[in-house]
Amino acid sequence: MKEFNYVIIGGGCAGLSLAYELEINNKLKDKTLAIIETRDEYKRDKTWSFWKVFDHNFNDCVIKSWSNFTINTSESSHELTNKKFPYQSIDSGKFYKKINSKLSANSNVSFFKNLNEIKSENSIIFNSVFEKEPDKSELWQHFQGIEIETPKNIFDEGIINLMDFNCDQRKDVHFFYTLPFSKNKALIETTWLSDLEDQSLRDYDLQLENYIENNLGIKNYKINFTEKGAIPLFSPTLRNNNNIINIGSAGGMTRLSTGYTFLNIQEHSRYIVKNIDNITEAKIFSLGKKYQFLDKVFLKVLEKYPEKMPKIFFNMFKTSSNTIIKFLSNKSNVIEDINIIRKMPKLIFLKALFN
Ligand SMILES: Cc1cc2nc3c(=O)[nH]c(=O)nc-3n(C[C@H](O)[C@H](O)[C@H](O)COP(=O)(O)OP(=O)(O)OC[C@H]3O[C@@H](n4cnc5c(N)ncnc54)[C@H](O)[C@@H]3O)c2cc1C
């Protein structure tokens, strides 16, 4: 059986981002890489969106960038503008194509379906697959999005609706998210923050149908693309082995209060490549203890007081756009953190903290 210097388990967002970063930094010229991936074909399956707080390798995969966003509750709407850190959406289909065509030109890179097909005892392993089936009773961000196309121009393509809480909450936290890619094309998502036990929350088709008709007033449209997912809002069980480095969601790259992961994966990939020669000895990359602590308290409040969350999220955005974007992208300084914390209802956060 063949042996490789590096093995990446899971050729998804994190696995391919890392492979690409290794390739463009010439780290695969005299080293071999095996990517273990179970899927049969790569096609668009996700839309990755984030605030571009630093440059990344995938500008050519961006569907659209925006500088304006709103957040709504049933009572109010708040609009923010930020030209410095645009919100971007990436087409995963283009991302997979770009990376796979680059990697296929390097004979040192091979793909396999199963780890058993290679000898990996002496390899450095980067793992992006959850060790065990995550617990359904924990908190998840679960959602379904559809890209719709309308015969007439009806969307304001300059502004996204990040969170619209003007919808049925059903004792959990629920909002809609609208990304207008053009005047007649938009991705609309129904998103829940809850455990996965309650099957009744998963009538996503119906939720989207009602929202599009009743809230957006759109009757005539066709669906171009559907994406569905569940992002765990709890820390993964990390594989405890010196030769295994966890990456992606399995490596703790998801910001637990928001589900944002894409840009953290890019930062982690850069860190790994920078330290590749002694990566098994290097400090484990993390999003930072500060955010881990703040998110833990935030999620405790969310679990205990779901009915208060629309207002809490809304108030969080009542600060400067730089502050909220940097906070949600793990790039805030102490002053910015304090500004966000000041917007939170003190008593229930203190209760959650000491509970
Ligand atoms: C639909 C959806 C939309 C999202 N949107 C956003 C967003 O807008 N912004 C954002 O920041 N984050 C978003 N996320 C969260 C996160 O960015 C993505 O989940 C991202 O794909 C995580 O990358 P990953 O490499 O950890 O996991 P994945 O991309 O899921 O990669 C894991 C790979 O492992 C493969 N695999 C599974 N089991 C095995 C096995 N046993 N052996 C080998 N391979 C295996 C899978 O086929 C997959 O290709 C979204 C998630 C989903 C599901």
Q: List, for residues 103-112, the tens digit of each pLDDT value.
A: 999 999 999 9
Q: How confident is the model at residue 286 (pLDDT cuts 50, 70, 90)?
A: very high
The closest residue, in CA terms, to atom 36 on ligand 1 is 10
| Residue 198 pLDDT class (50, 70, 90 cuts) | confident
pLDDT of residue 351: 85
Q: What is the pLDDT of residues 51-90, one digit of tens each?
A: 999 999 999 999 999 999 999 999 999 999 999 999 999 9
CA distance 144 to 289: 31
160: tokens are: 């996204």
Tell me the average pLDDT across 16-32.
98
Question: Which is nearest to 129 in space by CA: 227, 20, 39, 190?
Answer: 39
**How confident is residue 237, by pLDDT bands cut at 50, 70 and 90?**
confident
- Closest to 213 measured CA to CA, from 143, 169, 144, 150: 150
**Token pair of 109 as six digits:** 């890179």
What is the chain's percent helix, strand, coil content, to nearest 5?
35, 25, 40
Please give the share of the chain, as a percent, with pLDDT higher than 70: 99
Residues 9-34: b if buried by 16+ CB within 10 A, e if exposed: bbbbbbbbbbbbbbbeeebbeeebbb
Residue 239: per-residue pLDDT: 62
pLDDT tens, 145-192?
A: 999 999 999 999 999 999 999 999 988 999 999 999 999 999 999 999
Query: Which of 50-59, 88-97, 134-143, 302-311 has the least mean pLDDT?
Result: 134-143
Determine the pLDDT at residue 354: 83
Spatial separation of the C-alpha atoms in residues 210 and 206, rounded to whole Å:
6
Report the C-alpha gap between 186 and 179 in whole angstroms.
5
Q: Find the 12 Cα to ligand 1 centroid distance in Å.
A: 6
Residue to substitute in 38, 44, 141, 228 for testing ligand 1 pocket (most ligand atoms within 8 angstroms of CB): 38
Atom of ligand 1 nearest to the CA of 89: 8
Please report the atom of ligand 1 found closest to the CA of residue 92: 21
Q: What is the pLDDT of residue 76?
A: 95
- Give me the pLDDT at residue 137, please: 81
Residue 40 phi/psi, 5° resolution?
-85, -35
Average pLDDT of the residues in 299-313: 95
pLDDT tens sequence across 337-355: 999 999 999 899 988 888 7
Task: Identify the CATH class of 6-73+84-133+234-278.
Answer: alpha beta
Share the mean pLDDT of the chain. Answer: 95
CA-closest residue to ligand 1 atom 21: 13
Q: Where are the domains of the chain?
A: 6-73+84-133+234-278, 140-232, 289-354
Rounded CA-CA distance 179/159 in Å is: 8
To which H or E segment does residue 251 belong?
A: none
Calculate how far, in angstroms, residue 38's C-alpha sits from the geometric centre of ligand 1: 13
Q: Which residues does ligand 1 sit against, CB inside 6 Å? A: 9-15, 36-39, 46-50, 128-129, 227, 229, 231, 248-250, 259-262, 265
Q: Whose CA is nearest to atom 35 of ligand 1?
A: 10
Instruction: List the structure tokens of 143.
Output: 């959602």
Domain 6-73+84-133+234-278 and domain 140-232 have a common topology: no
Q: Please choose, from the candidates 141, 85, 47, 88, the residue with its C-alpha nearest in 3D space to the C-alpha of residue 331.
A: 85
Cα–ligand 1 centroid distance for 10 (angstroms): 9
The tens digit of pLDDT for each residue in 111-136 reads 999 999 999 999 999 999 987 777 77
| Half-sphere exposure (Cβ direction) of 145: Cα atoms closer than 13 Å | 24
The CATH number for 140-232, chosen from 1.10.730, 3.30.70, 1.10.10, 1.10.3470, is: 3.30.70
Contact (CB, 8 A) for 201 and 208: no
Query: Residue 288 and residue 291: Cα distance in Å, rounded?
Result: 6
Ligand 1 centroid distance, CA of 34 (Å): 19
Beta strands in 67-172 (DSSP E): 68-72, 77-81, 87-91, 109-112, 124-127, 140-149, 159-164
Rounded to whole angstroms, how far apart are CA atoms 350 and 355? 8
pTM of the model: 0.96
Share of residues in the chain with pLDDT > 90 (%): 89
CA nearest neighbour of 267 among 297, 294, 291, 233:
291
Beta-carbon-side half-sphere exposure of residue 343 (alpha carbons within 13 Å): 20
Among candidate residues 221, 220, 233, the one with its CA nearest the CA of residue 187: 221
Mean pLDDT throughout 275-290? 94
Burial of 40 (0-12, 13-18, 19+ CB in 10 A): exposed
Residue 60 has what pLDDT? 98
The C-alpha atoms of residue 49 and residue 181 are separated, in whole angstroms, by 12
Question: Which of 262, 269, 285, 330 to probe ligand 1 with, by most ligand atoms within 8 A of CB?
Answer: 262
Question: How many Cβ atoms from other residues are within 10 Å of residue 131's Cβ?
Answer: 14
Ligand 1 centre from 338 Cα, in Å? 32
Task: Give the integer Cα–Cα distance in Å for 266 and 225.
Answer: 25
Those residues whose C-beta lies under 8 Å from the C-beta of residue 29, and which sit 6 or more positions away, are 108
Residue nearest to atom 53 of ligand 1 (CA): 229
